[in-house]
Amino acid sequence: MSEEKNKKRIAIFGSTGSIGTQTLDVIAANPDKFSAEVLTAQNNAELLIEQALAFDPHVVVIGDEKKYLQVKNALAATSIKVFTGVAALEEVASMDIYDMMLAAIVGYAGLRPTLKALDAGKALALANKETLVVAGDIVMQKALENRVPVIPVDSEHSAIFQCLVGETRNRIEKVILTASGGPFIGRKPNYLVNVKREHALQHPNWSMGAKITIDSATLMNKGLEMIEAKWLFNLRPEQVQVVIHPQSIIHSMVQFEDGSIKAQMGLPDMKLPIQYAMGFPHRIKNDYPRLDFRKLPVLNFEEPDIKTFRNLALAIEALNKGGNLPCILNAANEIAVYAFLKNRINFLDMTAVIEKTMEKLPFIQHPTLEEYFESDGEARNFAADIIKL
């Protein structure tokens, strides 16, 4: 068999974001194992063009239709096909030109292409947690029906996934998701009320995109991860626990019914879980920095402060109640984070917007996919009205 046929063909949906660019780093470091066949971006035409010229994919998609000609003209001398618009993302996700989708589109926008990839029987490396937060029951059922593996890329869920390899016959008592605590660990509301955009974007351990960095600062990120873990690992809400671990060395843990705990550890580097998901079930040799226990003086753990960081409490409420409430939570949060990044509301206002939206929108215990889409739209409109966007 030729080397080309041995390569795993990767479609990176969200190639210009933090996860997408690091995925391309992994592909560049392993050209004998992977090729990038699909690259998509919403607005960053310049970087998408640069990536396309470097990796020569089969197809690129630029979401913003106003930038279509810019991308098309820049790639005119190549054989790369260029598409544009939201519908094109779904169309390309259905194409038989790749083996694995790396789902890295930020937020709710990643849901529809992901569903199309599952329908097409494509393996899924999932970096978009909102897909499972919004419609986890439907996504995982579709994966099951199509016998498609869903391999998490989030460092916490990758850690749990790695801890569970070889444990299929052993029951989980609980999973323990670790959180760095973000830049405001230990702070109280009288400090947080004055927090500005630039402060919240300074994460102590991880380099991430703006949306996920703000979610980390409010602890909403950990709440979304709790909901995601429920669906990924078929858990009850009470089996998902969060602990603050400022050093971000232990990425998460699994406790089995005999009381034994397995933890996955390593330096904070998203390329590790990305590489693991793409190469699974094989681990791929690399030259990333190694963790040296001799230089690790202490690992700390503490209870999250959900009275101060009430976004986590709201997410736990959504996790416990289920139905369309996580979908409403996610939509309101996306609007609130957008408004905060635009300096339209302050740090603590984000929680108020989410809470009010969750209170006012109708609850549906067993939503259809269409009802999830409707709940998402209604929640966005309601949250935007509160903020007067």
Alpha helices in the chain (DSSP H): 3-6, 18-29, 45-55, 68-74, 86-93, 111-119, 130-145, 155-164, 189-192, 197-200, 210-218, 220-232, 271-279, 310-321, 325-341, 349-360, 369-387
Residue 386 lies in a domain: no
Domain boundary among 152, 184, 210: 152
Q: How confident is the model at residue 330 (pLDDT cuts 50, 70, 90)?
A: very high
Q: Please, what is the average pLDDT of the chain?
A: 95
Residue 18: CB atoms within 10 A of its CB come to: 20
CA max distance for the chain: 64
Q: Are residues 179 and 143 in the same domain?
A: no
DSSP bridge partners of 123: 100
> So what's the pLDDT on residue 73?
98
Phi/psi at 248 (5° precision): 55, 40
What is the CATH classification number for the domain harbouring 113? 3.40.50.720
Closest CA to 132 of 165, 161, 103, 101: 103
Residue 282 lies in a domain: no
Average pLDDT over residues 233-251: 97
Would the pLDDT of 49 be above 80?
A: yes
Could you list the residue range(s) of the whole structural domain that residue 252 is in?
172-267+297-381
Q: Are residues 200 and 326 in the same domain?
A: yes
Domain boundary among 89, 122, 152: 152
Q: What is the pLDDT of residues 138-185, one digit of tens each?
A: 999 999 999 999 999 999 999 999 999 999 999 999 999 999 998 999
Q: Are residues 185 and 331 in the same domain?
A: yes
What distance in Å separates the CA atoms of residue 283 and residue 191, rounded to the nearest whole number?
A: 44
Residue 72 lies in a domain: yes
What distance in Å separates the CA atoms of residue 56 and residue 38, rounded to the nearest whole number?
A: 9
Q: How confident is the model at residue 106 (pLDDT cuts 50, 70, 90)?
A: confident
Average pLDDT over residues 8-20: 97
Q: Are residues 125 and 247 in the same domain?
A: no
Q: Are residues 41 and 183 in the same domain?
A: no
Q: The pTM is what?
A: 0.94
> So what's the pLDDT on residue 1?
41
Q: Are residues 133 and 190 in the same domain?
A: no
What single letter denotes the amino acid at residue 29? A
The percentage of residues in the chain with a pLDDT greater than 70, rounded to a whole number, is 97
Contacts of 78 (CB under 8 A, 6+ apart): 52, 53, 56
Structurally, the chain folds into a number of domains equal to: 2
Closest CA to 223 of 340, 351, 373: 351
What distance in Å separates the CA atoms of residue 191 and residue 44, rounded to the nearest whole number?
A: 35
